[in-house]
Structure 1
Amino acid sequence: MRHPPRSVLLAIAGTVALVGSAVVPAVTAHGATPACTVEYTVTNQWDAGFQGDVKITNNEGPLSSWTLTFDFAGGQEVTQGWNAKWSQSGTTVTAANESYNGSLGTGASVSAGFLGSLSGSNPLPTAFKLNGTTCNVDSDPSTPPTDPPPTDPPPTGDGKAPALHVSGTELVDAAGNNHRLLGVNRSGGEFMCVQGYGIWDGPVDDAAIKAIADWKANAVRIPLNEECWLGLSNIDPAYAGANYISAVKELVARVESFGMTPIVELHWTYGQYTGNSAGCSDVHATCQKPMPDAQYTPSFWSSVASTFKGDQAVVFDLFNEPYPDRATSSLTDAWKCWRDGGTCPGIEYQVAGMQSLVDAIRGAGANNVILAGGLAYSNDLGQWLTYRPTDPAGNLGASFHVYNFNTCSSASCWDSTLAPVAAQVPLVAGEIGENTCSHGFIDQVMKWLDDRGMSYLGWTWNTWDCSSGPSLISAYDGTPTAFGAGLRDHLRTLNP
């Protein structure tokens, strides 16, 4: 859902510990200042790969462009990157500025990141050059670099949250039992970080997640922000990159520890869109865009997939609410844009289609269940089957959002557009809600979905005004609004 306006946000996320990282520090001797300093960080590492970040600081005269070079000593290879043009020749890695971040004034810094492959150890680079000038030249040579400490394995939820896969039209656990996803959305991770307030909107400790479980929910959808995950330079570092990833991993593990399925979902993305129904004119990930961007979104999903590929309990929701149909009058063009991306009518930036995002996830080695929402803010699945992406893992389902103010908000529309999709793939209503501070509409939605054995999640587990939200709760102890009481009471009847 597109968020209601809010004048005050809670700043609740304090400092998050940096987990599984190693840094080549810029340490100087004798009070000297190097011409440039580079901090190299391994923010995540797994069996065959890792995610790295570099922070470059220019300590001398202003630069209109920059090129950073360094060498790998362990056979590592850069596979893709962001915030710079990355390339590699032999052991030498080169990162050159993008058109938007080439200017680097005296004392200014810029950050860029990448994904890499490895075989065996992952020794840190020991020397960096910026435009040919050696950086960190006054670093203490008596302290040799060391391999980064191994990161914790992906969370498994100690077996309480089931590993899931697609079987025909159903989501099933490892034993083949049908598993409906019935729960809530936990908004916050998509907007707090980019607005500079923190990472989560409200508490996400054990007591807060237990309150969700006490509603008899078995799934929690977690909206994310790609710029915060990738640690782009416009985000406060306290809420970006390794800190953000660590917080997401911690929440995912906590959700699983209460036996609930975490659904990690990409909500806000990069790319300037000023056309019909634009949520904002900002190029940064500060609102819902009509489609994912080709510049960062594939890297986001490759990194997320690498992080959680060892945990089949985690479900991936590709993109919150596509609306390329608002940018063009041709429904065919809109569906082609949805699947194939590229240059799309009415959208100023290069688009990442759903096929490219499925490819990014599978290319990272993750076979997790993937959900893809349709057009019209995920309310239109009319041609979803015609344009559905190809998934070599066979673990693809459809996502549908429905509110009382949507076009497709009646049983007749659901019969004609949802039922054919659900006859071929699992269907999850990733967001259901109404702006009436009541639950008469979602009662109808839940009955229609229950009768057909489908999944649904209420929007949203946040203490907002339910008439402008909608919001399920008035307090994070699980006290429901009048709207939320309908979902809570119904979930409890399904799982007493």
Structure 2
Amino acid sequence: MIRQGLRKTRSRIGLVAGAVAALLAGGTMVAANAQAAAGCRVTYAVGAQWPGGFTANVQVTNLGDAIDGWRLGWTFVPGQQVTQAWNASVTASGTAVTATNASWNARIATGASVSFGFNGSWSGNNPEPASFTLNGTVCTGSVDPTTQPTSQPTTQPTTASPSPSTSSTPRPVDAAATVAAMQPGWNLGNTLDAIPDETAWGNPMTTQAMLRHVRSMGYKSIRIPVTWSNHHGAAPDYAIDAAWMARVKQIVDWSLAEDLYVLLNLHHDSWQWINTYPTDRTTVMARYTKLWTQIATTFRDYSPRLTLESINEPQFSGTSGDEQNYQVLAELNAEFHRIVRGSGGGNATRLLVLPTLYTNAEQGRLDALNAELTQLGDRNIAATVHFYGYWPFSVNIAGGLRYDATVEADLVGTFDRVKASFVDRGIPVIVGEWALLDWDHNRLGIIERGEFLKFIEAVGYHARIRNLTTMLWDAGQFLNRNTLQQRDQGVHDMMAASWTTRSGTASSDQVYLSKSGSITAKTLTLNLNGLSFQGLYQGNTALANGADYTVSGTTLTLTAAALTRLAGNRAYGVNATLQARFSAGVPWQIQVISSDPPTQSAASGSTTLLTIPTQFKGDQLATMESKYADGTNAGPANWTSYKHFWEHFRPDYAANTITLHPEFFAEVNDGVVNLTFHFWSGAQLTYRITKSGTTVTGTTA
């Protein structure tokens, strides 16, 4: 899509492994007692802080042997304390704090993580704890044996182990285990795949500190999309620029040093030149072969934690249809397989990743890739597809406003097809990219936040129960790579929780109240997702069941008295934020918003831009309909009356305007067009525009 500390530990473990292998080969190993290893890493992040209070998330990664039952201990400074926790039970004795597992997250496998969160209070200052202990072991980010062998090897290895990035001897790969260990994954999007260079699409230069931060966020793997077409010489050698290869290698090395699995590919080459393969086979195949030969040679002896993907989102021009598309993709995938396997070394058994046509999960695409895999007869291969959700919801068109039954059915159907086609046949699957197409920090409001959170929660759950590894497409819309902070911490928290458990949600994350009218009780439907409702909170304060809210089945009712208190002076916009807490997962935020019906006024402009003055009065725009006077759909995408948010129309809340853009007018006939603006409060405004050539005028209806 266009879109240090541990190094010594790994070296030491590599030396031990090398010694054991050498001694076993020589038959000189003396029996020793089995060693149990203990080690852990803790990431403590304050998501929000205010005078006297804060919210924190704690992620615990077990680096040693699997444990069943855990206690995490740390020390606060005087004045710090936990007031409310979720996903763990937290107790304190003075400044000593202990978090104990919940019943459902007691077991932590080797390399696995659990997370819990809490609200806290503080006075004076609110520093991060200096250290943590897991079941009595200090979490240093390294692994130490808890018992020593009763005897030592009678000989020592005569050669040092290879560096963490390389492996001198090919080792068999358990493809399913490798793909499982890569969950969850993250894409270094719009970076090495950017055209023409790394920073061309707005992201900063990648650093090892940034990759370390990605690992601390809980990711186990990184997909490094690389566009090679601007970084190699002419035929017949197509020699890759030495500086570019060195940069790719550096980022791969850094990623491996941070304990991340790596997936490396050919990315936008797919539409820049590989797509012409059907009509220019000789040239394209020669270029493809030369590039993969150089890449395979460069990474031949790297760790098996490096995996290779043949082509990103393969697509072709000049074919007769899908059957020929399948055929030419199979030829390219087979050539990739031949080159990498034939280069020997670690590549002889390295996990290879092959895409479907377009990296799409339609059944025909899945069946075609299955036929390829049968033909190759290689067990060290994974399949990959991409998932950006039900398209109208992913871009907000055709009324696709909510995560509803249609969106859910598309998600479940996609993942079910992938599971049945590959996972059930012993072929692991990497969902190499996932997100919603138009979720973007630069274009807020296209996708309503609560609806996106429900999508995130569902993707995590449905992928997890089907053993699919997911790799988030992040082109900068999730992690701000300049500050190493989340664009929206709540979005990341929901995502991270979905890797191990479910979270409760609700029919909406907004409750609209009339600023000037009377306030009445409001209801929301709780989506329990197998959990139990634990209570409603404002900050650290529990609202009173009965007086402030009631719950009947899955219906949560906020009383008029509570809403009146929460609305305060009823200023336009968000007056209060509540948390619905459940027995697991992250709390569901509910914003209490005061608004009045929006108003608009007359405007004049052109087909280049029409700016409609709009007083939003605390409300937010959801979508826009466009119809001619006779009731037929007007404008682009005329199969629906609902137009494409942002591409065709955009709100500007600071400027109090809604603008209509050339992309909208390009397909609007002269005459009268009736627009209906839908707002999240439920309010609607009808506005009439008249187009004559390039001149456009607008009036309220």
Normalising by structure 2, what TM-score? 0.38
**In structure 2, what is the equivalent of residue 156 of structure 1?**
164
Question: In 1, are the aligned partners of 2:361 and 2:385 still within 8 Å (CA)?
Answer: yes
**In structure 1, what is the equivalent of residue 227 of structure 2?**
225
Distance change >3 Å, CA 222–CA 271, structure 1 → 2:
closer
Query: In structure 1, what is the Cα distance between the partners aligned to 2:321 and 2:270?
Result: 24
**In structure 2, what is the equivalent of residue 46 of structure 1?**
none
1:71-90 C-alpha deviation (Å, 9 max, x unpaired): xxxxxxxxxxxxxxxxxxxx
Residue 286 of structure 2, aligned match among 260, 275, 295: 295
User: What SS class does the counterpart of residue 226 from structure 1 fall into?
Assistant: coil
Distance change >3 Å, CA 269–CA 259, structure 1 → 2:
same
**In structure 2, what is the equivalent of residue 362 of structure 1?**
341
Q: Which amino acid aligns with 1:265?
A: N
**In structure 1, what is the equivalent of residue 61 of structure 2?**
none
Write the mapping of 1:72-83 to structure 2, written as runs, cut at 5 A: none
**In structure 2, what is the equivalent of residue 204 of structure 1?**
206
**In structure 2, what is the equivalent of residue 129 of structure 1?**
none
1:263-296 C-alpha deviation (Å, 9 max, x unpaired): 111102278679xxx9xxxx9xxxxx9xx93131
Residue 491 of structure 1, aligned match among 489, 492, 496: 496
Query: In structure 1, what is the Cα distance between the partners aligned to 2:171 and 2:470?
Result: 16
**In structure 1, what is the equivalent of residue 312 of structure 2?**
320
User: What SS class does the counterpart of residue 442 from structure 1 fall into?
Assistant: helix
Q: Which amino acid aligns with 1:313?
A: R
Query: In structure 2, what is the Cα distance between the partners aligned to 1:389 and 1:301?
Result: 22
Query: In structure 1, what is the Cα distance between the partners aligned to 2:243 and 2:287?
Result: 19
**In structure 2, what is the equivalent of residue 248 of structure 1?**
248
Write the mapping of 1:176-187 to structure 2, written as runs, cut at 5 A: 179-187=181-189
Residue 398 of structure 1, aligned match among 383, 386, 395: 383
Q: CA RMSD in A?
A: 3.9
Question: In 1, are the aligned partners of 2:270 and 2:313 still within 8 Å (CA)?
Answer: no
Question: In 2, are the aligned partners of 1:192 and 1:201 still within 8 Å (CA)?
Answer: no
Shift of 1:307: 1.3
**In structure 2, what is the equivalent of residue 388 of structure 1?**
373
Q: Which amino acid aligns with 1:388?
A: L
Q: Which amino acid aligns with 2:242?
A: A
Distance change >3 Å, CA 474–CA 382, structure 1 → 2:
same
1:332 equivalent to 2:323? Answer yes
Question: In 2, are the aligned partners of 1:271 and 1:293 still within 8 Å (CA)?
Answer: no
Shift of 1:320: 0.7
Shift of 1:488: 5.2
Question: In 2, are the aligned partners of 1:216 and 1:492 still within 8 Å (CA)?
Answer: no
User: What SS class does the counterpart of residue 310 from structure 1 fall into?
Assistant: coil
Distance change >3 Å, CA 453–CA 192, structure 1 → 2:
closer
**In structure 2, what is the equivalent of residue 421 of structure 1?**
422
Question: In 2, are the aligned partners of 1:215 and 1:492 still within 8 Å (CA)?
Answer: no
Q: Which amino acid aligns with 1:254?
A: W
Q: Which runs of 5+ in 2 are unaligned?
A: 4-160, 393-408, 441-451, 502-701
Query: In structure 1, what is the Cα distance between the partners aligned to 2:207 and 2:381?
Result: 31
Compare CA radii of gyration and give the structure with the larger one. Answer: 2
Q: Which amino acid aligns with 2:214?
A: I
1:449 equivalent to 2:463? Answer yes
Question: In 1, are the aligned partners of 2:210 and 2:481 still within 8 Å (CA)?
Answer: no
Shift of 1:195: 5.2
User: What SS class does the counterpart of residue 230 from structure 1 fall into?
Assistant: coil
Distance change >3 Å, CA 253–CA 154, structure 1 → 2:
farther
Question: In 1, are the aligned partners of 2:184 and 2:220 still within 8 Å (CA)?
Answer: yes
Residue 481 of structure 1, aligned match among 458, 483, 487: 487
Distance change >3 Å, CA 476–CA 409, structure 1 → 2:
farther
Shift of 1:229: 5.1
Distance change >3 Å, CA 387–CA 194, structure 1 → 2:
same
Distance change >3 Å, CA 451–CA 263, structure 1 → 2:
same
**In structure 2, what is the equivalent of residue 18 of structure 1?**
none
Q: Which amino acid aligns with 1:187?
A: G
1:120-151 C-alpha deviation (Å, 9 max, x unpaired): xxxxxxxxxxxxxxxxxxxxxxxxxxxxxxxx
Distance change >3 Å, CA 428–CA 270, structure 1 → 2:
closer
Q: Which amino acid aligns with 2:358?
A: A
Shift of 1:487: 4.5
1:32-53 C-alpha deviation (Å, 9 max, x unpaired): xxxxxxxxxxxxxxxxxxxxxx
1:265 equivalent to 2:262? Answer no
User: What SS class does the counterpart of residue 479 from structure 2 fall into?
Assistant: coil
Query: In structure 2, what is the Cα distance between the partners aligned to 1:387 and 1:270?
Result: 19
1:433 equivalent to 2:435? Answer yes
Query: In structure 2, what is the Cα distance between the partners aligned to 1:2 and 1:439?
Result: 23
1:14-48 C-alpha deviation (Å, 9 max, x unpaired): xxxxxxxxxxxxxxxxxxxxxxxxxxxxxxxxxxx
User: What SS class does the counterpart of residue 224 from structure 1 fall into?
Assistant: coil
Distance change >3 Å, CA 273–CA 188, structure 1 → 2:
closer
Question: In 1, are the aligned partners of 2:181 and 2:220 still within 8 Å (CA)?
Answer: no
Q: Which amino acid aligns with 2:414?
A: C
Query: In structure 2, what is the Cα distance between the partners aligned to 1:164 and 1:215?
Result: 30
Question: In 1, are the aligned partners of 2:384 and 2:430 still within 8 Å (CA)?
Answer: yes
Q: Which has the higher contact order (CA 8 A, sep 6+)?
A: 1
Question: In 1, are the aligned partners of 2:361 and 2:417 still within 8 Å (CA)?
Answer: no
Question: In 1, are the aligned partners of 2:430 and 2:468 still within 8 Å (CA)?
Answer: yes
Distance change >3 Å, CA 494–CA 399, structure 1 → 2:
same
Shift of 1:164: 8.5
Shift of 1:433: 0.6
Write the mapping of 1:31-70 to structure 2, written as runs, cut at 5 A: none
Shift of 1:392: 6.3
Query: In structure 1, what is the Cα distance between the partners aligned to 2:163 and 2:231?
Result: 18
Query: In structure 1, what is the Cα distance between the partners aligned to 2:206 and 2:271?
Result: 30
Question: In 1, are the aligned partners of 2:199 and 2:205 still within 8 Å (CA)?
Answer: no
Query: In structure 2, what is the Cα distance between the partners aligned to 1:270 and 1:377?
Result: 11
Q: Which amino acid aligns with 1:202?
A: P
Normalising by structure 1, what TM-score? 0.52
Distance change >3 Å, CA 296–CA 485, structure 1 → 2:
farther
Question: In 2, are the aligned partners of 1:382 and 1:418 still within 8 Å (CA)?
Answer: no
Q: Which of the pair is proportionally richer in strand?
A: 2
